[in-house]
Structure 1
Amino acid sequence: MPASLLDLPSELINHIIHLVLIYEDTPRPCPEPPYEYHVSWYRDSHDCLTQNAFGPKHVKYWKGQERRHKRWFSNPLALLLVNRRISQMTRWRLDRLPRSCALDVMLLGETYLLPTWISLPAPCRQIEDLTATIRIVGNSLTLNGRQHRFYPGEEGSPPLILWSFYYLLERFLEVGPLAEHRQPEPRPRLKRMPFTINRLTLNCVSCPQKYKVAPPDMSIWTWMEGSNSDTEPAGRYEGVLFLLMRPDWLARLINEYIGYLLGMDSDMALYGAMLYEYVGSIRVCIDGEVLKEYHLDRRLKDLNYTSLGDVHGDSWRQTRWLPPFAQWKKRVGCARARAGLPVLS
């Protein structure tokens, strides 16, 4: 019997290293209220793209990351520090692994997003595939709160809950994998973000059996209102407040507003610009089944405005560093090419 790992055949050592590098942790269980072990970082409106404070206030990070992740910590770190031979084999394997990450995101009580990394094979600035699995855990305390977070805002702006998803994506592009414990530094958004994602997958999944999910024949409007006397008999559904949101509702809601972002619509134009600059394609899935896939290179090619400032007003005029649309589009195409993102000429 081998006395140590180094006594094993090279093929077996290589396979063990591969398994370590692709290991995915199990998603963390739902924390108990009042969630004192999770914190959100305050951001002024000029420190991030969102003009809505709901997003930064309702993305919460686990405090334990402060102790564990003082530096970039990912699957290969321990292997790289074992000895020279294991380190060389690990680096060789890393060069042949796709740069993929897996993120678990809990939508807690229809209010907070709790992101946790479950797979970080290798540190890099150009992520090949980022998969965010979105789990719906718990329900709102009141119907008024549910309506407040899920109804569209004024003049077609997104529901408040979506600003949290937008901010979570911006935070990743700003600080990268496993750096979400770093408190953001106040600064205007002038420089390019250092991270890019070739393919972003947003997978909304079904909940564990212990939760009672809204039935398939219920509409999302009934779920938000508690009843819909115009189309459904009163009292048809009981205890609507305690029914969990269906994952297909959340996926379709996210999908709808991704379309608005990519159309550079109204106050969401800045987030649309962020997607075009840093993301190759976006897939929205329901339990792993693709609902919609957006190829951003194709959308960018067909996107034409004389001036986004003229079209969208203050949301673009407030960022005077942005060039006219034609210059911006050309710059984005060059930046995508440098980052290895797909580009159509």
Structure 2
Amino acid sequence: MLQIKHALNLNMSSLMKLPRELRDQICNLVLTAENERPDITESFDNLIEGRVHYKKPKLEAICKVVLYLPRAAKNNSLSLLLVNRQLHAETLANLNIIAKRAAYSLDIVILDEILLLPTWLSVPVITTSLHTVNVTFRISGSYNARQEFDLEMNRNGPYAKWGRYKGFQTGDGGPPAMSWQVYAVLERFIKVGPASEVRDTNTNKGFTAKCMKIDFQTPVGIPHERMGPPLSGHGSFGGRKNAPGRVLDSGYLADYVAKDLSCMLTFSEGTWFSCGKILYDHLDELVLYKDGNEFRRWDIAEQLRDLEDTRSVKKYKALTWQKRRERGLRCLD
């Protein structure tokens, strides 16, 4: 980051006097630099300020508790493209190289256990065929049951506007809402990538990635004894009074998401495997980390190959291999 700041402080005449190789290095550092992540020490209201729920495209995951910034991901190339013809041409050449192994970075804040706040940090080039998507989950705040109610103990508190089905609450026999919230982020990425609002309900650009890496990060400065299972879930009401300010344990969250992903990749006649087909259609590899340490990895092509060969599964596998081949993904049929 210091190199980038130094590069940006150079005046343009000095930049153009540098050897081309060094200029390319500076250009690449600028193009791939990550934007600043949201400050998770900010208040609930400050973190959600200006964020919106996108109604389009249409998703299988129907939930209104994933809030995005109402603008497209910032691209660092414009400032370089507008300098002069020479740097314009060099920047385009560097973008073409970056596109061959393009990596996007996405930060997701889990706020008070009930809201997901995704922020795209790095989108150096627009392409639907990515090499890597780096995702981080960070935890901010803690669930406070009193926020569900107003002073008259009616369910009209600050949390109430987000409905009852949020965080780790269950409803109508389905999984905790968090399962659908995480899936909504994944599904929207597959359909429109880092785009903001789109016009067409049925937009589906079919983003693919060779590898998606998901890192669950422990909040800094929170004593271990203050961390634990979610307070927003069914069955945790009785313990809330005895756990004021308890923070969701990132290890619990990592295991929770890993279990969901495993279910999505395991054949069944249920909804979860049907939803998980987007993993088979669009990814080569899925890797999970806890604070940078790998703890789970799926080779999607191997998973698909090893699915039980019943009649219906054979037909599904044949169609999926065809899709993967068309999209440049690994095939083992």
1:184 CA displacement: 5.7
SS of match in other structure, 2:209: strand
Amino acid of the structure 2 residue aligned with 1:249: Y
CA contact (8 A) 2:114 2:168 kept: no
Residue 109 of structure 1 pairs with residue 112 of structure 2: yes
Residues 92-111 of structure 1: CA distance to partner in whole angstroms, max 9, x if unpaired?
32333321011111001101
Tell me how many residue pairs correspond in the alignment. 301
Q: 2:168 is matched with which residue?
A: 150
1:163 CA displacement: 0.5
CA contact (8 A) 1:198 1:281 kept: yes
Query: Take 1:214 and 1:260, find their aligned partners in 2: how far apart are those partners?
Result: 30
SS of match in other structure, 2:257: helix
Q: Which moved more, 1:83-92 or 1:283-292?
A: 83-92
Q: 2:6 is matched with which residue?
A: none
Q: How does 1:228-267 map to 2 (within 5 A)?
A: 239-265=242-268, 266-267=270-271
Q: 1:48 is matched with which residue?
A: 59
5+ residue gaps, structure 1? 229-236, 308-323
Q: 2:328 is matched with which residue?
A: 340
SS of match in other structure, 2:329: coil
Amino acid of the structure 2 residue aligned with 1:225: S
Of 207, 211, 232, 1:195 maps to 207
Query: Take 1:213 and 1:59, find their aligned partners in 2: how far apart are those partners?
Result: 27
1:43 CA displacement: 6.3
Of 163, 166, 177, 1:160 maps to 177
1:302 CA displacement: 1.2
Taking only the aligned residue pairs, the percentage that are identical comes to: 25
SS of match in other structure, 1:17: helix
Of 266, 287, 290, 2:291 maps to 287
Residues 276-298 of structure 1: CA distance to partner in whole angstroms, max 9, x if unpaired?
00111111110011110011100
5+ residue gaps, structure 2? 1-10, 149-158
Query: Take 1:159 and 1:167, find their aligned partners in 2: how far apart are those partners?
Result: 13
- The 1:121/1:262 distance shift into structure 2, 3 A limit, reads same
CA contact (8 A) 1:212 1:243 kept: no
**Superposition TM-score, scaled by structure 1 size:** 0.76
CA contact (8 A) 1:226 1:241 kept: no
Of 152, 175, 190, 2:192 maps to 175
Residue 141 of structure 1 pairs with residue 144 of structure 2: yes
SS of match in other structure, 1:199: strand
Residue 7 of structure 1 pairs with residue 17 of structure 2: yes
1:4 CA displacement: 3.9
CA contact (8 A) 1:134 1:204 kept: yes
SS of match in other structure, 2:190: helix
Query: Take 2:165 and 2:230, find their aligned partners in 1: how far apart are those partners?
Result: 11
Query: Take 1:93 and 1:85, find their aligned partners in 2: how far apart are those partners?
Result: 12
SS of match in other structure, 1:149: coil
1:77 CA displacement: 3.0
CA contact (8 A) 2:67 2:118 kept: yes
CA contact (8 A) 1:213 1:245 kept: no
Q: 1:78 is matched with which residue?
A: 79
Root-mean-square deviation (CA, aligned residues, Å) is 3.1
Amino acid of the structure 2 residue aligned with 1:94: L
Q: 1:186 is matched with which residue?
A: 201
1:75 CA displacement: 2.5
1:147 CA displacement: 10
Amino acid of the structure 1 residue aligned with 2:37: P
1:37 CA displacement: 1.2
Q: 2:130 is matched with which residue?
A: 127
Residues 38-84 of structure 1: CA distance to partner in whole angstroms, max 9, x if unpaired?
1112369xx3223xx33xx0110123x2xxx4xx7522233233222
Query: Take 2:260 and 2:166, find their aligned partners in 1: how far apart are those partners?
Result: 17
Residue 59 of structure 1 pairs with residue 66 of structure 2: yes
Q: 1:278 is matched with which residue?
A: 282
**Superposition TM-score, scaled by structure 2 size:** 0.79
Amino acid of the structure 1 residue aligned with 2:130: I
Query: Take 1:102 and 1:116, find their aligned partners in 2: how far apart are those partners?
Result: 9
Query: Take 1:335 and 1:222, find their aligned partners in 2: how far apart are those partners?
Result: 39
Amino acid of the structure 1 residue aligned with 2:213: T
Query: Take 2:206 and 2:79, find their aligned partners in 1: how far apart are those partners?
Result: 25
Query: Take 1:106 and 1:225, find their aligned partners in 2: how far apart are those partners?
Result: 22
